Structure 1
Amino acid sequence: MTDKEKIERHDTLTTLRTRIGSCFGTADGIFAGHPSDEQSAKELRKLAFDNKIKLIEIREIALGYLFGKGYVGPHIKEQIEKVDQLFGKKIQ
């Protein structure tokens, strides 16, 4: 991997971390439960696919977001399954 590719990958991961919250409902923390949340998720999925980000990395970013918001384990597990379904359609 070239230095340029490393920088682009780092920038993509930073963008994903910054924008992952837009994929979840602000009041309930449901992943892609509203059309605008789903649209954000699809945009991030494309960004991840275009930059060869792996599904495990997306899961870790989503887990960090949900954990940071203080959601309980069962809710986090349910939302991560939804993240896997949507992102797993295009990335592995």
Structure 2
Amino acid sequence: MENITIVEALGLSVVAITVVMIVLAGLMFIVEGFKYIGGDKPSDQVQTLSQPKGVPAGTALVEDEESKMVAVLTALIRANEDQQDKKYRICSIKRIK
């Protein structure tokens, strides 16, 4: 076995850490580049979940599956605040006016 001095060990450590950082930076640039390659274009439509100020109170908000799921999960969180060990099952989703 060969004896390694402290200076050689520190040099080897610096080279190893530098190689790891270069590989990690390369992976970061590759992952960031995927959003520019063949990705779906973001839609220009913005769906609001709260009632805008200029809209009358009787006007219905946009209903889609995502907003329904958010409403159901919010209701489950509120129902589960006091009793943490209960289990719930969602049978149907109905809008209450």
TM-score, normalization: structure 2? Answer: 0.23
Point out the structure with max Rg over C-alpha.
2
Specify which structure has the higher proportion of helix.
Answer: 1
TM-score, normalization: structure 1? Answer: 0.24
Structure with the bigger RCO (C-alpha within 8 Å, sep 6+) is 1
